[in-house]
Chains A and B, each alone.
Chain A
Amino acid sequence: MTINRALPFLLLILSCAASARATVLIPADLGELSRDALAIARGRVASVDAQWTEDRGTIETIVTLEVERYLKGRLGSTLRFRVPGGELGRFRSIVVGAPEFAVDQRVVVFLGARGPSVPYVLGLNQGVFRVSRAADNSGWFVTSPVLLPAAGVSARVVRGDPLRRALALRDFEQTVRTLAGGAK
């Protein structure tokens, strides 16, 4: 049996539909992400624009980042990358495991690319770290949990580990640059 495609009907469905996704991940630590990334950039989200994919099969979002600093690679002062899902017209698609962005958010993103195409976020939400100001205005911190690579021997990841706290942004960036090999 093959699917009977009724295009007008499908367009009607799609016009008032929203979609979401969920995933099974191969996890990466910060070291892997740093080494595998084509570029690592910290910046402010300037725009979030949903669009149809090239084959018009589904929705993706193009995020524009005003780069404040590159930790690896260099792709220009304004950077565009893609994530699955998004809000387009009457509907919004959210991917479980895929990052969401809002204008004016500050983030550090780990990006990959295939050829000349628009870069993508490595490992979906694994490649995004949120940056927030401390409640007492003492500085900026990376609020996403950071898993540093094991130091020579395998180590259980212990929830509630008091050593795993929100990293000061400068400490996080120094760590990333070290793990990425100090590349600019």
Chain B
Amino acid sequence: MTGIERRVCLLAGVAMLQASAAFAQSADPPRPRFELGIGALWIGRQPLGTKAATETTGAGGSTALFNTSSDLASAAGIDGRIGVRVTRSVVAEAEASYLKPQLRITISGDVEGAAAVTATETVQQVTIGGGVLWYLTNRAWTRRFAPFVMAGGGYLRQLHDQATLVETGRFYQFGGGATYLLASSRHFHTKGIGARVDVRALIRSKGVAFDGGAKTSPAVGVSAFVRF
């Protein structure tokens, strides 16, 4: 091999190395096992039911004095999680969130013509739970873009205004999303930095509820994560 040929081979090799620098893992990528994420969570409106204030008639029936319709308004808050990769495609997570939705009770139909009014208060809502993510592609934690489906549940705690009344319950969630890996090389002891978006159906049982039934609302999470 001539000197020029050796220089060309050397330059080609360097170029190949440069082109795959961000994904040097493709040959021998880091294998993160843990993920720490924090971000924002938005939960959509949750209807809580209707209830009429009734009085008894002389025939033993009932008649409404006024009507109420209640809901928890949509709200955004913070959401954090810790994930452990169980297999190449399955991740177990522990998650917590904090929001302050407004409880609204719309009062209407007063028999004596009182103006309709919406009575409100702010509820402090905390959830603590866990779940499972199933990535739909192999070696998802090393791919730039990886969709997943998820399911989980946990404990729900709602603290009313003035912190004098607490209501607890459970939540369940089902949905899916995707992660986008922004950096995968070893940086500052990490093995990956990225962003995640997920969309869920959030089902609440008990907690603030007036008719005893489970309530479903949409939820969207956007977060940044770091993998170790």
A158 and B114 CA atoms in complex are apart in Å by: 10
SS class of chain A's interface: helix, strand, loop or mixed?
loop
B27 within 8 Å of A by Cβ?
A: no
- Our count of residue pairs bridging A and B at CB distance below 8 angstroms stands at 9
- 9 interchain pairs (CB within 8 A)? A156-B111, A158-B111, A158-B112, A158-B113, A159-B112, A160-B112, A160-B113, A160-B114, A161-B112
Binding site for A on B (CB under 8 A): 111-114
A160 and B112 CA atoms in complex are apart in Å by: 7
SS class of chain B's interface: helix, strand, loop or mixed?
loop
**A157 nearest CB neighbor, chain B only:** B112
Residues of B within 8 A of A158 (CB): 111-113
Residues of A within 8 A of B113 (CB): 158, 160
A159 and B111 CA atoms in complex are apart in Å by: 9
Nearest chain A CB to B64's CB is how many angstroms away?
13
A159 and B113 CA atoms in complex are apart in Å by: 9
Residues of A within 8 A of B112 (CB): 158-161
**A156 nearest CB neighbor, chain B only:** B111
Residues of B within 8 A of A161 (CB): 112
A52 and B68 CA atoms in complex are apart in Å by: 54
Render A143-184 as a binary contact track against B, CB cut-off 8 A, 1 for contact.
000000000000010111100000000000000000000000
Nearest chain B CB to A165's CB is how many angstroms away?
16
A160 and B113 CA atoms in complex are apart in Å by: 9
**A160 nearest CB neighbor, chain B only:** B112
Nearest chain B CB to A54's CB is how many angstroms away?
38
If A159-B112, A160-B114, A161-B112 are given as contacts, then 6 extra A-B residue pairs at C-beta distance below 8 Å, sorted by A number, are A156-B111, A158-B111, A158-B112, A158-B113, A160-B112, A160-B113
A156 and B65 CA atoms in complex are apart in Å by: 13
